[in-house]
Chains A and B, each alone.
Chain A
Amino acid sequence: MNIAVLSGKGGTGKTTVSTNLALALKANYVDCDVEEPNGFLFLKPKVDVVESVKVEYPIIDDHKCTACGACANICQFNALAKVRDDLILFQKLCHSCGACEIVCKYNAVTYGKREIGKIEKGTSRYIKCSRGILNISEPMAVPVIKELLENLSGEVNLIDCPPGTSCNVINALKYTDAAILVTEPSEFGLHDLKMAVELVKMHNIPFGIVINKDDKKDNIIKRYCKEEKIMLVGTIDYSKNTAILYSKGKILYDDLHHKIIFDKLSQKIKEVLAWN
């Protein structure tokens, strides 16, 4: 069972919720915010596996190549260009689609592999942790996300998603059975929450909302949940102490006040998802 934690807006508390909920649920923690993975800062797992994430790129055999330029013409991403009799590859633009090999009449195209990121796996306390890291200046995160999520075990996995609703998040949702949407009680929070709600509904993923930095009042998010008949899984109160613990990289679950909050959340999630 894969549970995705996403938010639309950045900084609402996805990582705070997923790391602590993973401990409360005794579930595996998977950080797929591969551009800025933060979860390990808090969980501090002992990493015992590091894997390279590689993508394919075309290699052109000079002996067979006639410089016809068909590969450069077919490439939808401008990754290949023909200059005089040379074919030049712009690696970072290549989507590894294979179209250049298909179109080449002279069998001059083969593929090599290059690294764009890494996967790290380890254990923290009693849970398994994994994360993907995209190498700096690489524009495409999706291959790292796919490799991270493709082979997850059949246990309960809490997937810490990237912010936003773009292709990164969409790819994470492909491996998701249920979603928790984390928001904050503000106009910005609501505005971006609506986009995240639309996204999960589009993918027919059952979901619930967690309000982080809650003001304990009847706020716009609570009203929105009532109006739209959306499940409010729980709230996490705002407190300066929470912010201070977070800033130090501390696990909130180690603090009794917060342990109670996350245990309550995890109980509600188990009820809602009807699992024992």
Chain B
Amino acid sequence: MELVVISGKGGTGKTTIATALAEIAKDVIRIDCDVDAPNLYLFYKGKDIEKKGFIGGKKASINESMCKKCGKCETVCKFQAITDFKVNLFECEGCGACTLVCPNNAIELKDQNIANTFITELDKGIISRAEMKIGGDGSGKLVNYLRKNGRKFNCDDKLTIVDGSPGIGCSVISSISGSDAVLIVTEPTKSGLEDLIRVVNLCEHFEIFIMVCINKYDINEEMTRKIESFVSKKGLELVGKIPYDDTVMKSINELKPITFYKESIAEKAIEDMWHTIKKFI
């Protein structure tokens, strides 16, 4: 069973909640698919038991000694990735058009190492995560690999919780496709609702079971009602409403999951939410 926690909008509390759920559920596989800003592992003093380089895609490479400086490659490149007979790796999309037109076969496509992937062992369970090199392309493929790599360590069919990325592009698509359910974490703000609508549309497109929770719901009860109404109209499951709690910032700064603070009202609400979620998954 794989549950993916996403948000559409950034900063709604995805990682806080994904971590808390993983702690409450206890023996789980954690996958941090927010490869641009991977924060999950910061909560733990885990041990990296695996580190591998990850090939994201290919990019063009011009062999200077064979280049006759005819400029055909520059003319044909649709991404303006070649100037002065040099390939700009940030612009290059690895399409290979230049390799086709070079009269001297001076260009080839080379594999690019875009990230290091890790399996980090915790007291209970593991985290499958990555540290992406700055400017890395192909995060969709990386996200898919992280899910697969995490699964490899799941011999006894444990629950897998995936911390997804914000947005609705290829990383998110790659996080949710093929999974069992998503939990969308939203906040009661106008931006939160607008982004919720877009990410719900995306999930509906991929026909996946959708649960929603409203984080910091009491900072604007009117917006919370609007979100509840939207969720109800769409026939989705509202599984939790988490109150604003200063303890959350404390937990982030002390780098301890919120579940360590038994007095926390947010913690209590997340526990209740987990009971509700369990009924569905």
Q: Consider the complex of A and B and state whether they touch directly, i.e. have CB atoms less than 8 Å apart.
A: yes
Cα-based distance from A244 to B166 in the complex (angstroms): 22
- Does any Cβ of B come within 8 Å of A102's Cβ? yes
B204–chain A nearest beta-carbon distance, Å: 9
With A36-B195, A187-B42 as contacts: A192 and B37 at CB distance below 8 Å: yes
Chain B: number of interface residues, binned into ranges: 35 or more
User: Are the C-beta atoms of B169 and A168 separated by less than 8 Å?
Assistant: yes
Whether B36 and A165, one on each chain, are in contact in the complex, defined by CB atoms closer than 8 angstroms, is: yes
- Residues from 1 to 15 in B contacting A, C-beta threshold 8 Å: 7-12, 15
Contacts A36-B8, A95-B95, A186-B253 given; does A247 touch B37 at CB 8 Å: no
Assess whether B202 is interfacial by the CB under 8 Å rule.
Answer: yes
- Asked if A202 is an interface residue, CB under 8 A from chain B, the answer is yes
Q: Is the CB of A163 within 8 A of B190?
A: no
Smallest Cβ-Cβ distance to B167: which chain A residue: A35
Closest Cβ–Cβ distance, residue B240 to chain A (whole Å) = 18
Is B101 a contact of A102 with CB atoms below 8 Å? yes
Q: Which of B139, B140, B191: most chain A Cβ within 10 A? A: B191
* A197 CB, min distance to chain B CBs, angstroms: 10
Contacts of B58 in A (CB 8 A): 76
Q: Are A163 and B167 in contact (CB under 8 A)?
A: yes
A146 to chain B: closest residue by CB:
B79
Residues of B within 8 A of A202 (CB): 134-135
Q: Does B188 contact A (CB under 8 A)?
A: yes
Segment 109-148 of A: residues with Cβ below 8 Å from B: 134, 136-141
A162 within 8 A of B: yes
Interchain CB contact under 8 A, A188 and B252: yes
Interface contact A41-B11, CB-CB below 8 Å: no
Q: Chain B's nearest CB lies how many Å from the CB of A79?
A: 10
Interface string of B28-40 (1 = CB under 8 A from A): 0000000111010
Instruction: Tell me if A97 and B78 are in contact (CB < 8 A).
Output: yes
Alpha-carbon gap, A64 to B151, bound state (A):
47
Query: A9-B11, A11-B10, A164-B37 in contact; A41/B168 too (CB < 8 A)?
Result: no
The listed residue with most B CB atoms (<10 A of its CB), out of A139, A164, A243, A249, is A164
Q: How far is the CA of A170 from the CA of B88 in the complex (A)?
A: 12
Interface residues on A, range: 35 or more
- Return B101 CB to nearest CB of chain A, in Å: 6
Smallest CB–CB gap between A223 and chain B, Å?
Answer: 13
CA gap between A237 and B96 in the complex, in Å: 50
Q: In whole angstroms, what is the CA distance A246 to B189 when docked?
A: 7
A163 engages B135 (CB within 8 Å): no
The reply to whether B36 and A166 form a contact with Cβ atoms under 8 Å apart is yes
Tell me the complex Cα distance, A166–B167, Å. 12
* Chain B interface residues toward A at CB < 8 A: 7-12, 15, 35-37, 39, 42, 57-58, 76, 78-79, 90, 93-97, 100-101, 109, 132, 134-137, 139-140, 165-171, 173, 187-192, 194-195, 198, 201-202, 205, 219-220, 223, 249, 252-253, 255
Beyond the given pairs A99-B95, A102-B76, A249-B189, 17 more chain A to chain B contacts, judged by CB atoms under 8 angstroms and listed by A's residue number, are A11-B10, A36-B167, A97-B78, A97-B93, A98-B95, A99-B96, A163-B37, A163-B166, A165-B37, A166-B171, A167-B137, A170-B90, A191-B39, A192-B39, A199-B134, A202-B135, A247-B188
